[in-house]
Homo-oligomer: A and B are copies of this chain.
Amino acid sequence: MKLKVKVMDVEQGQQEIVLNQELSHEMCLETGERVIVKYNGNEITCIIDESRRISKNTIILYHESAQKLNVKTGQMVDIRPAIKPAGIDYIKKKIRNESLNRMEITEIIANVLEEKLSNAELSAFITSIEINGMSPEETLYLTEEIYNSGEHMEWNSEKTVSIHSVGGVSGDRITMLATPILATLGYTVPKTATRAISSASGTIDAMEVLCNVTLNKKQIMEVIKKTKGCVAWGGAVNLAIADDKLIKIRNPLQLDPQPLVLSSIMAKKKAEGAKHVLIDVPFGRGAKILDLKNAEIISKSFRELGKGLGINTIVTLTDGSKPVLNEIGPSFEAKAVLEILEGKRKDKLYEKAVEMTAILYSNVEKISLEKAKQIIVQTITSGKALKKFQDIIIAQGGKIITSASIKHAKIKRIIKSTEHGIVSHLDNKNIARIARALGAPGDKQAGLIIKVATNQRITPGTELYEIYANSQENINEALRLMNDYRIIELQRLVYSIE
């Protein structure tokens, strides 16, 4: 069937085309089925969408498809029905709770990469994994396929390391500290990270306050060559293309099936070329992992998967029920990191960063944890870690900056208590909600500073926290949200009388 092309100059994640509805019915095709579109020797498989509003001799192609075919509006393409990609049968196997073998997982990921699967089909795959799970073998195959789907970095050093947190805890900026500390100690630390998804700031959002983070593979290799350390945005490096496509479906649905969390993280660690990996699993109320039992289960899976991938994998289970920093928001967090390296503060973030890096260091060097801690602390007190961090910032296109010069958003409000009580809980999820209402992470200067700690006694008038935004509208929105989403909870004998 010959059809005249009309190109819509926007991208469509899936390779979709639009056909006249009547025509597609005549061809016994339906929305969601596939056709092969051919032009001048090129051919691609596309998913059909139907419209009554285009003529029967026309086909609408979106930007990417038109580009792949090298075709322009007005030219003629040939279409014919395509058979279903085999991956769909294997997705249905997973729906029936049958195990997938390596070939089947390879085929699904190949179909994902060729954009032969629709969002609905990918969603069915993710949902079936959420419900039916995956065996350790399936998870390993999946991780290897995701690893194979993207770029790889290789380093001469056996001492290439990476620290990664499963996430969900505000102010958990460990890797911004661990990277210069470990690089100071001679390790290669090619850290890639993501921007915030639901939190107030990801590692990348905070790092971006100090320098450029959008580096390609070549640029990362140059930074590492100069400094041994790097903190780059994973989204610019294509370390695991298949994973990016799955995440596009997972994020809006907020579905985090454990096998996909595992494969996503570990495929990227392997692609970073890490030989030793420390995975931090914060657990507790308000964190992603709710209790110790679940933290232990996922910890075991990480270690098993690491073994399969040939990566020395250490897992730490840490308290994720409270924020790691009292200051939340990209600039606030970047400032805190600098203050620690400048020797100006020794708070929970300092302690956690020392502990994490020492655990990794003692494991690789086969020395005691105490000894390792002494060495780590020495990198900070000597100023070497700060110097290394400045080198990394400069290598990534930034300027030398001191903590004192980092600015916060211009409008500030102090939130005071109206009640008596004892602080029993600081809620990570609600902190993220309020911080996002204030403009973070898009507005790097927006955020909040918590002024109380758990178990602290408060009275009416006690300052609870300060909020910062660059627009009155955002301040108002945050104030409005505070009624429904409480950052601070008080211990009470009687919670309500109804």
| Chain A contact residues, CB within 8 Å of chain B | 8-13, 18, 25-28, 30-33, 49-54, 60, 63, 88, 92, 95, 97, 118-124, 126-128, 130-132, 195-197, 248-249, 251-255, 436, 441-442
Contacts and interface: CB of A to CB of B under 8 A. Distances in A.
Nearest to A18: B10
A123 B119 CA distance: 8
Contacts of A31: 13, 248, 252
Contacts of A9: 53-54
B32 A248 contact: yes
A49 B97 contact: no
Given A26-B442, A95-B131, 15 more contacts: A8-B8, A9-B53, A10-B18, A10-B53, A11-B53, A25-B195, A25-B442, A32-B251, A53-B63, A95-B127, A118-B252, A120-B122, A120-B123, A123-B123, A131-B131
20 contacts: A9-B53, A11-B51, A11-B53, A12-B49, A13-B31, A25-B195, A28-B196, A30-B197, A32-B249, A32-B253, A51-B63, A88-B253, A95-B127, A119-B119, A120-B252, A121-B253, A124-B126, A124-B253, A127-B127, A127-B128
Nearest to A251: B30
Contacts of A52: 11
A91 B130 CA distance: 13
Nearest to A126: B124
Contacts of A25: 195, 442
A488 B274 CA distance: 58
A49 B123 contact: no
Which of A63, A253, A436 has most chain B Cβ within 10 Å? A253
A121 B122 CA distance: 11
Contacts of A49: 10, 12-13
B120 A253 contact: yes
B123 A30 contact: no
Contacts of A253: 32, 88, 92, 120-121, 124
Contacts of A124: 123-124, 126-127, 253, 255
A7 to B, nearest CB: 11
A281 to B, nearest CB: 21
Contacts of A51: 10-11, 63
B119 A252 contact: no
Contacts of A123: 119-121, 123-124, 127
Contacts of A50: 11
Given A131-B131, A255-B95, A54 B10 contact: yes
